[in-house]
């Protein structure tokens, strides 16, 4: 079998897009051979075949390689003149947008450090009641869209009865929850209740700030995550609000959809526009809703006792069901289970 062609440092060629040194070397192996199977990759790099399949799946998700129909088919290289250029262009655009926000972010940072600075566009809040009041005010102001990061610590009651009223008004509400949001009793049930009313929700292992944005015109963002020190910024500055919207959309794309009773009947996610459906590539049964919830919470990084409490089962039952699920997915650990579940469209 042919060796990978010498070239750029394999340890850094794809690290900017989250592919480590071994993943980069596997990519060059497929590239130099034209195609490769999980078995041949496992043999070439002395790794388990399921790990090889998972790493090939990551490269395929980035559009660097393709797979013919059938779960055990070989992976073939995509012309790098196209795939690498598209990949770098996409990340270059994101980096450029981030750089464009630096002046506005720096100005707001300097303003937050000056206790006397307050403009018509931007206000610094240090009173918990004022922060809670502005959060309610933003909900009332929203006419079309409300975006939120939900994470502790909280300055008001976790339950939000006003959200149902806003949803009934036809406002599109999207929320990203931090895994820590579900550590409180009843938090999962509350998220499911809101999902039934129309909230679109996802979960992330961690979120950098607490955030609320109404109609992409006014935003409330935390400046401190210290439970004993309340400090937040409310702004109508167009550049600042746009930067916070970009931050929300980035974490939205990186987060895991929370399944609910409103999920489609098959329990499988639809393919993104312009992409081939994962379901057509890897035939599989539809997961149960409990399996979707379990995989979602595992992938989000929740602890076993928290997951068991939210699902209303014992930790022992949770471990047994997790082991059964990983066995069906052919996964030796939670990382591999998340990769395989993603390939099947289960999460």
pLDDT in tens for each of the 347 residues of the chain? 444 444 444 445 677 667 788 988 998 899 889 889 899 999 999 999 989 888 888 888 878 888 876 556 788 888 888 777 777 777 777 777 877 887 787 777 666 655 444 556 788 898 888 888 899 899 999 999 999 999 988 876 666 778 888 999 999 999 999 988 888 777 888 888 888 889 999 988 889 999 999 999 999 999 988 888 889 999 999 999 999 999 999 999 888 888 766 554 333 343 333 334 333 334 457 778 788 888 888 777 778 888 888 778 888 888 888 888 888 888 777 767 777 777 777 76
- What is the dihedral sign for C-alpha 34, 271, 246, 206? negative
For residue 160 the two structure tokens come to 């939000």
Q: What is the pTM of this model?
A: 0.54
Q: What distances in angstroms separate CA 341 from CA 6, 168, 293, one per listed residue?
A: 34, 33, 12
Cβ within 8 Å of residue 304, ≥6 positions away: 315, 318, 319
For residue 245 the two structure tokens come to 């919207």
Q: How far, in Å, CA of 12 to CA of 18, rounded?
A: 10
Q: How far, in Å, CA of 209 to CA of 202, rounded?
A: 16
Cβ within 8 Å of residue 83, ≥6 positions away: 62, 63, 64
Q: Which residues pair with 214 in a beta bridge?
A: 146, 218
Backbone angles phi, psi at 123, to 5 degrees: -135, 145
CB atoms within 10 A of CB 52: 23
| One-letter-per-residue 3-state SS of 238-249 | HHHHHHHHHHHH
Q: Which domains does the chain have, with CATH numbers?
A: 15-93 (1.10.10.10), 101-257 (3.30.870.10), 278-344 (1.10.10.10)
Backbone angles phi, psi at 110, to 5 degrees: -65, -40
């Amino acid at each position: 079998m042919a060796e990978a062609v010498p070239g750029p440092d394999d340890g850094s060629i794809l690290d900017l897009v989250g592919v480590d040194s071994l993943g980069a070397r596997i990519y060059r192996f497929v590239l130099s051979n034209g195609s490769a199977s999980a078995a041949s990759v496992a043999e070439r790099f002395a790794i388990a075949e399921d790990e090889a399949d998972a790493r090939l799946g990551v490269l395929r998700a980035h559009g660097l390689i393709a797979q013919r129909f059938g779960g055990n088919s070989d992976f073939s290289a995509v012309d790098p003149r196209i795939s690498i250029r598209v990949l770098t262009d996409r990340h270059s655009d994101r980096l450029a947008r981030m750089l464009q926000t630096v002046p506005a972010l720096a100005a707001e940072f300097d303003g937050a450090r000056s206790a006397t600075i307050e403009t018509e566009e931007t206000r610094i809040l240090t009173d918990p009641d004022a922060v809670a009041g502005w959060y309610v005010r933003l909900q009332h102001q929203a006419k079309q869209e409300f975006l939120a990061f939900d994470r502790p610590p909280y300055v008001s009651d976790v339950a939000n009865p006003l959200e149902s009223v806003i949803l009934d008004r036809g406002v599109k509400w999207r929320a990203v929850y931090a895994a820590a949001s579900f550590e409180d009793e009843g938090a999962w049930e509350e998220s499911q209740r809101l999902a039934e009313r129309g909230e679109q929700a996802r979960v992330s292992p961690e979120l950098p700030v607490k955030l609320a944005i109404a109609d992409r015109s006014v935003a409330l963002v935390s400046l401190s995550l210290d439970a004993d020190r309340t400090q937040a910024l409310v702004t109508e500055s167009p550049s600042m609000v746009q930067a916070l919207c970009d931050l929300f959309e980035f974490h939205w794309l990186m987060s895991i959809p929370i399944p609910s009773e409103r999920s489609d009947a098959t329990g499988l996610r639809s393919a993104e526009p312009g992409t081939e459906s994962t379901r057509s590539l890897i035939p599989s049964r539809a997961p149960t809703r409990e399996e979707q919830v379990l995989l979602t919470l595992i992938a989000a990084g929740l602890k076993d006792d928290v997951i068991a409490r939210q699902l209303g089962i014992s930790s022992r039952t949770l471990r047994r069901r997790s082991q059964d699920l990983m066995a069906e997915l052919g996964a030796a650990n939670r990382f591999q289970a998340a990769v395989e579940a993603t390939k099947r469209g289960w999460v």
